[in-house]
Structure formats: C-alpha cells, structure tokens
Amino acid sequence: MNIKRFAAALVLITVVAAVAGCNLPIRPTPTPFVFPTPNLTMTAVFKPPVVIPPTVTPPSPTQPPATAAPTSAPSPTRVPVTPTNPPPTPTNAPPTSTSVPTTMRLRPSVEAPFQSKVLMIDGDWSDWTAKAYPAVSVVYGKSNWKDDADLEGSFRVAWDNTYLYVAIKVLDEQFVQGSSGQNLFRGDSVEILFDANVSADFFDDSLSADDFQLGISPGKGKVGENMEAYLWYPKSKAGTASSVKIGAVRSDGIWRVEAAIPWSIFGVTPANGQHYGFAVSVSDNDKASENLQQSMVSNASGRSLVDPTSWGDLTLKK
C-alpha cells in the first residue's frame, strides 16, 4: 500500500468516529458528594429520619414528666425527749411489750413475815418479831428538817390472810396534829403507798387504779385520841377508811402507831412470795398554830407520790 492511500484511509476512519460520537445521549453533570461534618458520629450520619405520626403531639423538650402526687404527707420523725433525771433502770430485762418482771424494784426491799398469832393493835411493839426498817430519807421540806431528833422513823411489817400489819415508831420532839380527813397529812401522820399489781405495771411511772395512798393519824390533838385512816388514792375509792384498825401511844419524844389494814381495801388475796410496790413515809408539823406539812421522811429515798416506780418493794414470806 502506498503512503497516500494509507493516509486517506486514516482520515476517513477519524471522520466516521467523530460522527458516531455526536449521536450518543448527553449525560447531566453529576452532583458532587459532600462528606459529613466531622462532629457527627456514624450513627447520626446513617440514622433514618424521625417521622412523627400526625395524631400525636410531641412532648415539649422543656416540660418535665408528670409525677404522681403522694397519697399523704410523710409523717415527721419524732425524737423522744430524754428526762433530766430518769428513774433508775431495774436490774431485770429492759421493758418490752411482752416482758413480765420476775424481780423486785431497785428501791428498798421489805419482807413481811406471816403472822400466825393475832397482833394486838394498841401501839405496843412487844408482840412483834418482824425486822425493823428505817424511814430516814428526807423527801419533802428538807429546809424545815433539823435533825433526826426533829423527825426520824422506823417500821415493821407483817401479814396474815386478813390484814397487812404496819407498826411505825417516830422520833419527834413535838407532836402536832390538828387536821383530820383528807387534810390529816397537814400534821404528824403516816402515809402508806401500795401498788397492788406491780407485775402488771412494773415500768409504769404514773398512777393507776391499783395504786393506793393511805394516810394514818395517830390522833387529833393528842396521840391515841380520834385516830383515823383516810384513803386519798385511787380517787374512785377516796374517803375515810373506817375498816383500818389503829392503836397509838406516846412517850419521851417518841410516838408509836400500829395499823391492821384489811387486804380488801387493796382488792388483794395475799399469798406467800407475792411482791407489791410499797413505801412508808412520816409527815411532821412543829407549828401548833398552823395545820401544815413541814417535812416528810421515807424509807424510799427517791419517793414520788405520782411515780410508783420510785416506791420500794414488799415481799410476803411464810
């Protein structure tokens, strides 16, 4: 092939190719790809769009979720007040709703022996064999109390199936008693405190219907004359206790009184080994011109009338 023919053929091929290219469809300019911003995670990039149904109102992003109101306001915690001078804790187990004490109170313990022979209630101690206990703690009017010659007491206790017997000896320079009935404490007199059901309210520091306050006067104006007993508490039974037998004598700055107290006053059926709350106290007045209670001594040093836990213990023995 000569050179001229070869060149002509090459030109013809080029023209045919150009014409064919002009018949192809025109492609649109492609959309450039935009890379995601660097602060989006892959989850955010490929997360499908959130579609909210048209019937639901989306919650406001600033509105907190509703909280159910409490049915009642919580009760505040109450802190118990500790008393300034709490009563001593008994040696037995601490109180619980089911605890039943089996031991006596910490306060002074008194034993009353069984009396097989009838005691003469006349103020004479010669027929007594029971132990004597002191009543020397000043529990009221200490500023009026001078010394043991002014006021000091001792006592004995015994029992049988009918009576609780109490004998009291009092050192007192001057006997003054011008009161009677519910006011007999405003003069020289004796007071018996008796808890008839101590096991049931061993830890109860307030008076109840089984706590008794009995006063005994050795005489109005003179020892041995117009003697009487008066029950102050329980209030439902308050009044003159005429069933109490009393005998009293006086000599050399001492007066003595004996009392036979029926168990029926306390509503008690006595038995060997029983325990009761118990305290013996003596009131004194040295002002003949006035009816008043100047001072009081007791066998229970912490005696408080309104707090039976401050009384002592009485045990019946056979």
Burial (CB count within 10 angstroms: exposed 0-12, middle 13-18, buried 19+), residue 298: buried
- pLDDT tens track for 157-183: 999 999 999 999 999 989 999 999 999
Is residue 77 situated within a structural domain?
no
* Verdict on whether the full-model pTM lies above 0.75: no
Is residue 312 situated within a structural domain?
yes
Is residue 216 situated within a structural domain?
yes
**Rounded Cα–Cα distance for residues 79 and 59 (Å):** 45
| Amino acid 234: pLDDT | 97
Lowest mean pLDDT among 36-50, 103-117, 201-215: 36-50
Residue with tokens 């050795």, as numbered in its chain: 218
Q: Which domain holds residue 290?
A: 121-300+308-317
Does the pLDDT value for residue 67 go beyond 80?
no
Strands 245-251, 254-262: pairing is antiparallel
* DSSP per-residue letters across 69-120: PPSSPPPPPPPPPPPSSPPPPPSSPPP-TT----S--SSPEEEEEB--SPPP
Does the pLDDT value for residue 41 go beyond 50?
no
Task: Give the chain's domain count.
Answer: 1
What dihedral angle (degrees, nearest 10) is formed by the CA atoms of 177, 183, 185, 188?
0
Is residue 29 situated within a structural domain?
no
Is residue 231 situated within a structural domain?
yes
Find the mean pLDDT for residues 152-156.
96
Does the pLDDT value for residue 29 go beyond 90?
no
Is residue 85 situated within a structural domain?
no
Does the pLDDT value for residue 25 go beyond 80?
no
Q: To 5 degrees, how large is the angle CA 57–CA 60–CA 61?
A: 135
The CATH number for 233's domain is 2.60.40.1190
In our burial notation (b when 16+ CB lie closer than 10 A, e otherwise), range 230-245 reads bbbbeeeeeeebeebb
296: tokens are 């009081």
| Amino acid 212: pLDDT | 97
Is residue 39 situated within a structural domain?
no
Is residue 89 situated within a structural domain?
no
* DSSP per-residue letters across 12-46: HHHHHHHHHHTTSPPPPPPPPP-PPPTTS-HHHHH
Which residues pair with residue 213 across a beta bridge? 193, 233
